[in-house]
Structure 1
Amino acid sequence: VIIPELQKSGAKIKAFDPQGMREAKKYLQDVVFCKGPYEAMDGAHAVVIITEWNAFRALDLVRVKSLLETPILVDLRNIYNLNEMEKAGFVYYSIGRKELKIGS
């Protein structure tokens, strides 16, 4: 549901899921499926974390920020600590917590 809605808004999607790629390819169209999280983030304007696999819990935030066009991370699983994201300089949105904006 999330990916098709983003596409309707004009988003171009690159995706990675360590467990669900094979199944997702059957249902999602016009998505670039990547071999890893960093490949999916390269050149992106934002990252949306939808699942809480360890591959997403252990991201190198300095590397993530360097790959992104804009340091925006939407965390639908509340994986990351607000202070950690603020120190890393991200605009950070999570569920049920305050949003962080650069310089706030």
Structure 2
Amino acid sequence: MPGLTVQREVPVVAMQARLVGTIEIDTSTNCLVVRTPIGTPGGTDRLVDIDVAWPPGWSVALRDGTPALIDATGQLACRLGDEVEVGGGFVEATVIDVVSCTGQARIFEAYHITRA
């Protein structure tokens, strides 16, 4: 099963940024990430894996043989390959006291998720 970054506490403030991408597994770290296109100075997009700190109690489990993100109530939030919109914002991992699954210093602190 892939690893996952999870918040230790519910955020005090709900940030208003939005991360849009696909739920994927970073094969170099075996971590669940949101893969999103980022523009480059040359005008082309490249795909970047963003480590997301999911709310407390969220986990990864197999659903119909596919890794899936499970919310704190045990309900399916999304599956591998789903397009998602994640509300929240970028923060330093040390500021919110989490260990990044991918080792990234800045992570996206999730407040909510919807399937696109």
TM-score by structure 1 length?
0.24
Q: Normalized per residue, which structure has more helix?
A: 1
TM-score by structure 2 length?
0.23
Q: Which has the higher contact order (CA 8 A, sep 6+)?
A: 2
Q: Normalized per residue, which structure has more strand?
A: 2
